[in-house]
């Protein structure tokens, strides 16, 4: 099971919007509405930001939103803030015989 | 408040076995599956496997099959991940994380345990 493909880095200025893509296959992203997104600051555990493609857990800012089209899911951060600078990982349930879940390659978000 | 508290950092020699614990509080242990995730230094997240604390059933990623054993002790609300035949590539931070029944996302995470494999 190969990792889902994400851009290595995305950057934006404070107040701008950025979008991170996450490309998989019909066995994972495209086959299920079970995509989730995690934010990870250096030295910290990942934090759930989006689940089931577009739902936000309680306490997560509405500046974070998710969507999916075909085999590609996306995370959009609007009104970019300094505290959003972190690594972001997508994840999906997969029907692969070699794994149950698959993560993305990770994207470093830099706030300029 | 849900908390997952993992055991401390470990240093192991190649070929050895490491066992990491993850003690939970703030929820009913058997209401959530417990997953384990590996993160090598400077690298991404990799799913290792899960245990259902209710009946002990496990599912492992093929990459770790045969070397990993994930268990759950309902008497102490603690999950364990044991990795054997350690090699340098196993140097990583290991996280436990919960998934509520009927869902697929990792909602609560432990703080991580660094395992260093070095001769």
- Within 13 Å, how many C-alpha atoms sit on residue B117's CB side? 19
Pairing verdict, β A18-23 and A72-77? antiparallel
Chain A partners of B3 at a C-beta cutoff of 8 Å? Answer: none
- At A96 the pLDDT is 83
Instruction: List the single residue in A45, A101, A105 with the smallest CB-CB distance to B47.
Output: A101
- At A108 the pLDDT is 98
Spell out the residues 6+ positions from residue A43 whose beta carbon is closer than 8 angstroms to its own.
none
A99 contact B CB<8A: yes
Segment A78-103 mean pLDDT: 93
Q: Specify the 3-state DSSP secondary structure of A44.
A: coil
B52 contact A CB<8A: no
Of B61, B66, B70, nearest to B33 by C-alpha is B70
End-to-end CA distance of chain A: 35
pLDDT in 10s for each residue of chain B, 119 residues? 999 999 999 999 999 999 999 999 999 999 999 999 999 999 999 999 999 999 999 999 999 999 999 999 999 999 999 999 999 999 999 999 999 999 999 999 999 999 999 99
The CA distance from A92 to A71, in Å, is 11
The CA distance from B37 to B39, in Å, is 7
Residue whose structure tokens are 């939970």 = B24
B106 and A34 within 8 Å at the Cβ level: the answer is: no
* Exposure string over B76-100, b if 16+ CB within 10 A, otherwise e: ebbbbbebeebeeebbbbbbbbbbe
Chain A partners of B109 at a C-beta cutoff of 8 Å? Answer: 45-47
A106 contact B CB<8A: yes
Check if the beta carbon of residue A112 is closer than 8 Å to that of residue A12.
Answer: yes
Q: Does pLDDT of A1 surpass 80?
A: no
Check if the beta carbon of residue A109 is closer than 8 Å to that of residue A16.
Answer: no
């Amino acid at each position: 099971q190969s990792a889902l493909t994400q851009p290595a880095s995305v950057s934006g200025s404070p107040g701008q919007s950025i979008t991170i893509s996450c490309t998989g296959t019909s066995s994972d992203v495209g086959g299920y509405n079970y995509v989730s997104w995690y934010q990870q600051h250096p030295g910290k555990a990942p934090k759930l930001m989006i689940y089931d493609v577009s739902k936000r857990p309680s306490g997560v800012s509405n500046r974070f939103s998710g969507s999916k089209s075909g085999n590609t899911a996306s995370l959009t951060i609007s009104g970019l803030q300094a505290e959003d600078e972190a690594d972001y990982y997508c994840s999906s349930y997969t029907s692969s015989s070699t794994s149950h879940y698959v993560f993305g390659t990770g994207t470093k978000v830099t706030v300029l | 408040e849900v908390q997952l508290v993992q055991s401390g950092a470990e240093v192991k020699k190649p070929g050895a076995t490491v066992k990491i614990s993850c003690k939970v509080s703030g929820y009913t242990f058997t209401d959530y599956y417990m997953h384990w995730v590996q993160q090598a230094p400077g690298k991404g997240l990799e799913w290792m496997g899960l245990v259902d604390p209710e009946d002990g059933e496990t599912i492992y990623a093929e990459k770790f099959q045969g070397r990993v054993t994930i268990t759950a002790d309902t008497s102490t609300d603690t999950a364990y991940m044991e990795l054997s035949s350690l090699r340098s590539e196993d140097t990583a931070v290991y996280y436990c994380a919960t998934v509520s029944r009927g869902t697929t996302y990792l909602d609560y995470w432990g703080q991580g345990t660094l395992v260093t494999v070095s001769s």
